[in-house]
Structure formats: C-alpha cells, structure tokens
Amino acid sequence: MHIHLADFQILGRGTYDVSGFDVTAGGTRAPLAPDQATPVPLPPRR
C-alpha cells in the first residue's frame, strides 16, 4: 500500500496466500486469496 496526503484509520490487517505469485512474470495470474486463518493484530492505539 502506498498513500500520500490522505487521512485514514487502519481497521484491520490480514495475510495473503502468496503461493500464486509468479516471480518470472512479476505478478499473479489470479487474485491472491486472503488467509483468514492467520490474523495480524493491530498495534495499540496512541
């Protein structure tokens, strides 16, 4: 993610199954699927 000049609040974070990423093509042929079994906790709010 790359954001400039925008206010935002992170509501959640997740991991993705990147086994479909093709290094030689520099991307994927199909969208990456979210990995719902591995949650990523948010940092504490300041």
The DSSP letter of residue 16 is E
Q: Output the average pLDDT for the chain.
A: 82
Task: State pTM to two decimals.
Answer: 0.43
pLDDT tens string 26-36: 888 788 888 88
- Say what the pLDDT of residue 23 is: 84
Residue 2 pLDDT > 80, yes or no?
no
Quick check: 37 pLDDT over 70? yes
Identity (one letter) of the amino acid at 40? V
DSSP 8-state secondary structure symbol assigned to residue 18: G
Residues 18/27, Cβ–Cβ less than 8 Å: no
- 33: its two tokens: 């699927």
| Residue keyed to tokens 């504490």 | 44
